[in-house]
Amino acid sequence: MRAHIYNEVLFIRNEDVPPYKKKGSMVRNSYFWALKSISDRAPFEKDWEFEQSVWLALTRMLTSFAESGYLGLKETQLEFEPDDDIPALLKPMATWYDPADYEETKAEEDMHANRSNSRW
């Protein structure tokens, strides 16, 4: 899950948070609600926010769900940009990502944004 920190608040990209699905996997839905329950803000279609006071709990929760084997690393590991510092509390479940891995996603987002803007 791509993440960044601003003013000691961790932001996780909304697009990377596994979504709740009414008829979805019990583990994935439990994971969604567990993440939502410790977030400071999880607005609809916006990045989720986690203040520093919950980072230890977040790391433990991510570790627990990753070790269960039901969810992959892309869903349970925080991914930071290569130049970002990763705080010690988050390091056990965090890494840096290669921006090239997300080039297609970025192109799709830009295309979607252009389509949305062209309607107005």
**Averaged pLDDT for residues 32-49:** 94
pLDDT at 110 over 70: no
pLDDT at 115 over 80: no
pLDDT at 47 over 50: yes
| pLDDT at residue 120 in the model | 21
pLDDT at 5 over 60: yes
More confident of the two residues 9 and 111: 9
DSSP for 32-90? HHHHHHH-SB--TTS-EEEEGGGHHHHHHHHHHHHHHSSS-HHHHSEEE-TT----TTT
| pLDDT at residue 88 in the model | 97
